Amino acid sequence: MKVLMDAGPWLPVPPHGYGGVENVVATLTTQLQQRGHQVVLASVADSALPVHERVAAFSSGQFTRLAGPYPEVVGLAHAHEQVVVDTVRRHARGGHPFDLVHTHVEVVGPAVLGALGAAAPPVLATLHWDLRRNASFYETFDGDGRVFFAGVSASQLARAPERLRRQALGAVPLAVPPSRHRQPATAAERRPEVVVLARISPLKGTAVAVRSARAAGLPVVLAGPVAGRPDEATLRADLADPRTGLQGDRDVRYFLDEVAPLLDGIHARWIGTVTGQAKDDLLRHARAALFPIDWDEPGGTAVCEALTAGTPVVAMARGCLPSLVEDGVTGLLAEDEAGFGDALRRLEDIDPAACMAAADERFAPAVMAEAYERLYGEVVSRTGGPAGPQPTTSAATESPW
């Protein structure tokens, strides 16, 4: 099958650090190509993932611009989708149209592609977000039998508007690459600290994590960006520049007012975005990964990463978290801040080997790719195309387009 993978203009694929959607796209695209499918990636020009072709509207990721004034950022996704549409038309004119477009761009992706009608290939749009924030779109959008949706968890789709649920083909849980280590770190190898691997935001409950860890006598490390800024130096520099629009950003105010006062650089510290080997090492050797979310998390990529590393998870029982974490086996779930603090005192109840084993079974890249292959086949079948995906045994044996 020939797929146009629409990752969006926000971050490179794979991302250099933070970037849940882009990590998922990188993992899925790699698997699809290994299974013989042909993939064109619509991302930003500095994406490094090997693909047959890459198209882009921007030279680099536009994520940090999202904190700017609305009139200055509203067209970013549309500029990207214009390149997607041009790519669809170019390949069709060349006699080798796409079998399917898989878009990960919120709202604008399905809206623009759906507006093309029969002139566009069939479309599958993955829903990575809280659907309430664009409820007016999802309550009214009609894909007209050409655009279909996939959720990233059953709980996410259960909260979706009825019209959207009728166009959804199912939920595909996220996946992450397997750990380079086949065994979790031993107790002797683990550091005393717990880690929060997420952007710093009230939705992620960052302040709850710090307060709970310190009350439990555990050092805590915050590893993630603030409003897209990867470290303290960048944040301070951009805060000093009024053109960035950061001064009124909600996540920035939350960090400055509620999180930063709790940090002492020893027992509680922010290290910014971590990538590659540094992130692997941080997760593998932490006593636990904390997710005190204050919203109905739809997907939870970082949860999968922690369990894949063999690191127990402590999380609020909201959104998809109860479907990712088996309470008492791969982690501990709490209902409120008091319960979260209590859970941090029971980390020894969780066997890291059970965490890694469950992740290998449930969150392996091949599991996600197989699920998407089934959905691709259903989309193509419903739109009157071929019966389904027909991968070859090796991408190298594909004939050129």
Q: Can you give the CATH number for the domain in which 40 is found? A: 3.40.50.2000
Residue 157 domain-assigned? yes
Question: Do residue 228 and residue 275 come from a single domain?
Answer: yes
**Is residue 357 a part of any domain in this protein?**
yes
303 and 243 in a single domain? The answer is yes
Are residues 378 and 337 part of one domain?
no
Nearest of 141, 137, 146 to residue 116 by alpha carbon? 146
3-state helix, strand, coil in the chain (%, to 5): 45, 15, 40
**298 and 332, same structural domain?**
yes
Name the 3-class secondary structure at 350.
coil
The number of distinct structural domains making up the chain is: 2
pLDDT by 10s per residue, the chain, length 401 = 999 999 999 999 999 877 789 999 999 999 999 999 999 999 999 999 999 999 999 999 998 888 788 888 999 999 999 999 999 999 999 999 999 999 999 999 999 999 999 999 999 999 999 898 899 999 999 999 999 999 999 999 999 999 999 999 999 999 998 888 889 999 999 999 999 999 999 999 999 999 999 999 999 999 999 998 999 999 999 999 988 888 889 999 999 999 999 999 999 999 999 988 999 999 999 999 999 999 999 999 999 999 999 999 999 999 999 999 999 999 999 999 999 999 999 999 999 999 999 999 999 999 999 999 999 999 999 998 533 334 433 333 222 22
Eight-state DSSP code of residue 256: I
Pairing, β 2-6 against β 100-103:
parallel
Long-range interactions of 340-345: CB distance < 8 A, separation 24+: 340/208, 340/212, 340/290, 340/292, 340/314, 340/316, 341/211, 341/212, 341/215, 341/216, 343/314, 344/194, 344/212, 344/213, 344/216, 344/218, 344/288, 344/290, 344/314, 345/216
> Do 393 and 272 lie in a common domain?
no
DSSP secondary structure of 191-217: -S-EEEES---GGGTHHHHHHHHHHTT
For residues 290 and 268, is the Cβ–Cβ distance under 8 A?
Answer: no
Does 188 reside within a domain? no
Same domain, 123 and 62: yes
Handedness of CA 75, 80, 84, 89 (dihedral sign): positive
Nearest-Å Rg of the Cα atoms of the chain is 21
Specify whether the backbone of 90 is left (phi greater than 0), alpha (psi in -120 to 50) or beta. Answer: alpha
- Co-location of 382 and 329 in the same domain: no
93 assigned to some structural domain: yes
Say how far apart CA 255 and CA 271 lie, in whole Å.
Answer: 13
| DSSP assignments along 125-164, one per residue | EE--S-GGGGHHHHTT---TTTEEEEESSHHHHHTS-HHH
Q: Which domain holds residue 143?
A: 2-175+364-397
128 and 205 assigned to the same domain: no
In a domain, 186, yes or no: no
**Whether residue 342 is found in the same domain as residue 211:** yes
- 19 and 51 in a single domain? The answer is yes
Within-domain flag for 182 = no
Residue type, 142: D
For the record, the structure tokens of 284 come out as 């593998």
Could you list the beta-strand ranges (E) of 241-302.
268-270, 289-291
* Domain shared by 68 and 146, yes or no: yes
Give yes or no: residues 160 and 26 share one domain.
Answer: yes
Q: Is residue 89 part of a domain?
A: yes
Residue 46 lies in a domain: yes
pTM for this prediction: 0.84
